[in-house]
């Protein structure tokens, strides 16, 4: 089973690990900057990150409103956003189930 460190997954399902701009110090990263990633959000802050915080979820695939038209409109750089976040959510739930089974 594929294992993902979900503490590194952004609200929109991206992962800043290995990002050249982050490694070069040009960008702090979405999670580390609390949604103020210069690359994508500029100084306004990322609306997707803000929405995920308001819904108290780690990433959009875990939201009870997912998939929503608002997300699809905001994440214009990824035409596969719904499929990718759906896959991430399945992996997330599988890992949590496996972790729970191991702890009991």
* Mean pLDDT, the chain, whole residue set: 87
Q: Is 38 helix (H, G, I), strand (E, B) or coil?
A: coil
Please give the pLDDT value at position 28. Answer: 85
Is residue 78 pLDDT above 60, yes or no?
yes
Q: Give tens-digit pLDDT for 14-62.
A: 888 888 888 888 888 888 889 887 776 666 788 999 999 999 999 999 9
User: 34 to each of 27, 44, 86, how far by Cα in Å?
Assistant: 12, 11, 23
2 confidence band (pLDDT: 50, 70, 90): low
96 confidence band (pLDDT: 50, 70, 90): confident
């Amino acid at each position: 089973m594929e294992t993902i460190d979900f503490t590194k997954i952004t609200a929109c399902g991206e992962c800043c690990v290995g990002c050249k701009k982050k490694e070069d110090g040009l960008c702090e990263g979405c999670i580390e900057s609390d949604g103020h990633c210069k690359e994508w959000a500029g100084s306004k802050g990322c609306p997707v990150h803000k929405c995920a915080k308001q819904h108290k979820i780690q990433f959009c695939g875990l939201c009870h409103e997912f998939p929503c038209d608002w997300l699809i409109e905001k994440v214009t750089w990824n035409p596969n956003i719904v499929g990718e976040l759906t896959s991430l959510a399945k992996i997330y739930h599988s890992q949590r189930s496996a972790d729970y089974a191991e702890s009991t």
